[in-house]
Amino acid sequence: MPTVVVEIHVPLLPTPGLPDGSYPFPWIEEAEDFLSDLEDQGDVEVFDEGKEDGDVYVFFVTGASEEALLAVASRVATVPGVPAGTVAVVSNDEAEKFGLGRRVVLPPPVR
């Protein structure tokens, strides 16, 4: 039986106001650190390394219910510096390509 994977699609936009020569996407590392901390706590599993895909950067999480994974995606969308417009795609570990599952507009996280 396929395992649920939630893809977190973040618009690949540079952080405004950074000094010249700075890495333009510091929010990627912030989101990766956030997901790594959740993985260390046993809340979710990072399914695959994040990837650039056209005009988005995609993070992958699994290891929990769809509802819990969507809550994690909502929390990633609010990590400082993450550009607005982040969406989730509900898929599974047997999908041939990413980005083809059910798109979910991310609500603010439940606190």
Predicted local distance difference test score (pLDDT) of residue 18 = 87
Please give the CATH superfamily to which domain 4-17+24-105 belongs. Answer: ACT domain (3.30.70.260)
Q: What is the pLDDT of residue 67?
A: 94
Task: Report the pLDDT value the prediction gives residue 34, as an integer from 0 to 100.
Answer: 95
Q: Provide the pLDDT for residue 50.
A: 93
Distances (CA, A) of 51 to 17, 54, 66, 82: 24, 10, 21, 15
Mean pLDDT by 10 residues, the chain (111 residues): 94 90 92 95 91 96 95 93 94 91 79 48
Residue 109 confidence (pLDDT):
53
Is pTM beyond 0.85 here?
Answer: yes
